[in-house]
Amino acid sequence: MSSSGIEAVRAWILARNPGRDHVGSDENILESRLVDSLSFVDLVYTIEAAADVEIDLDTIRISDFETISTIEKTFFSGSS
C-alpha cells in the first residue's frame, strides 16, 4: 500500500480547501463538499497519477470516493 500516494490525494484535497488543515480518513469528502462535482474528475486524475492506475469513468462507484479510507482501500491496496 502506498502511503505516499494516498497522502498526495489528501494534499490535493487540502490544497483545494485552504481553510482546512486536516482531512480525517473517514470524513465524507463529498458530503462535506471538500470535493464537489466540478472537481471530482480532477480527483479521479489525481488518484490515477498517485496510484498508477486507470479508472474507468463509465464504471466507477461513487462510494469508492467518499472517504480517504475508501479511496485508499479501492485504489492503493494493490488489488485494483
- Cβ neighbors of 7 (< 8 A, separation 6 or more) are none
At 22-34, the pLDDT tens digits run 999 999 999 999 9
Tell me what pLDDT residue 71 has: 98
Ordered by start, the domain boundaries in the chain are 3-75
Q: Residue 68's closest CA among 28, 33, 31?
A: 28
Return the amino acid letter for 46.
T
At 46-75, the pLDDT tens digits run 999 999 999 998 999 999 999 999 999 999
Tell me what pLDDT residue 63 has: 97
Domain boundaries 3-75, corresponding CATH code: 1.10.1200.10
Whether 6 has a pLDDT exceeding 50, the answer reads: yes
Mean pLDDT of all residues belonging to the chain: 93
